[in-house]
Structure 1
Amino acid sequence: MAAGEAPPPLSARVEYVLRGACAAMAAAGALLLGLSAQTKTVLFVQKKAVPKDVQALWVLIVAASAAAGYHVVQLARCLYMARLSTAGGGGGSRRLSREIACVSFLLDKGCAYMVFATTVAALQACFVGLIGVEALQWSKLCNIYTRFCEQAAAGMVCSMLAAGGMAILAAFSARELFRRPDASSAAGALGWNGSQGSSSEL
Structure 2
Amino acid sequence: MARRETSLRISAIVMLVLTACLVAFDTQTKVIMLSIEKKATYKDMKALQMLVYVTSAAAAYNVLQLCKHTSLLSCTEKIKKGSSNIYMAWICFLLDQVAVYVTFGTNCAALEGSMIAVTGSEALQWLKVCNKFTRFCDQIGAAVLCGYAASILMALISTISAYKLMRMYSPQRFLTLKIR
TM-score (norm 1): 0.81
Please state if 1:57 is matched with 2:48.
yes
In structure 2, what is the equivalent of residue 16 of structure 1?
6
SS in 2 for 1:169: helix
Q: Which amino acid aligns with 1:171?
A: T
Q: Distance in 2 between matches of 1:185 and 1:130?
A: 54
SS in 2 for 1:136: coil
Indicate the structure with greater helix content.
Answer: 1
Shift of 1:185: 3.4
Note the 1:75-86 alignment, pairs <5 A: 75-85=66-76
**Count of aligned residue pairs for this structure pair:** 174
Shift of 1:33: 0.4
In structure 2, what is the equivalent of residue 91 of structure 1?
78
Would the aligned equivalents of 1:115 and 1:159 in 2 still touch at CA under 8 Å? yes
Q: Distance in 1 between matches of 2:89 and 2:9?
A: 15
Shift of 1:29: 0.3
Shift of 1:181: 3.7
In structure 1, what is the equivalent of residue 20 of structure 2?
30
Please state if 1:39 is matched with 2:26.
no
Identity %: 35
Residue deviations 1:115-168 (CA, integer Å, cap 9, x gap): 000000010011011011112221111010111111111111111110111111
Q: Distance in 2 between matches of 1:70 and 1:48?
A: 32
Q: Distance in 2 between matches of 1:94 and 1:104?
A: 15
Shift of 1:70: 0.5
Q: Distance in 1 between matches of 2:13 and 2:98?
A: 15
Would the aligned equivalents of 2:81 and 2:168 in 1 still touch at CA under 8 Å? no
In structure 1, what is the equivalent of residue 137 of structure 2?
149
In structure 1, what is the equivalent of residue 150 of structure 2?
162
In structure 1, what is the equivalent of residue 63 of structure 2?
72
Q: Distance in 2 between matches of 1:98 and 1:179?
A: 10
In structure 2, what is the equivalent of residue 185 of structure 1?
177
Runs (4 or more) in structure 1 with deviation over 3 Å come to: 93-96
Runs of at least 5 residues in structure 1 that lack an aligned partner in the other structure: 1-10, 191-202
Please state if 1:130 is matched with 2:155.
no
Q: Distance in 1 between matches of 2:130 and 2:26?
A: 13
Would the aligned equivalents of 2:92 and 2:161 in 1 still touch at CA under 8 Å? yes
Q: Distance in 2 between matches of 1:69 and 1:83?
A: 23
Would the aligned equivalents of 1:98 and 1:181 in 2 still touch at CA under 8 Å? no
Q: Distance in 2 between matches of 1:124 and 1:69?
A: 25
* Max Rg structure: 1
SS in 1 for 2:177: helix
SS in 2 for 1:134: coil
Q: Distance in 2 between matches of 1:82 and 1:105?
A: 17
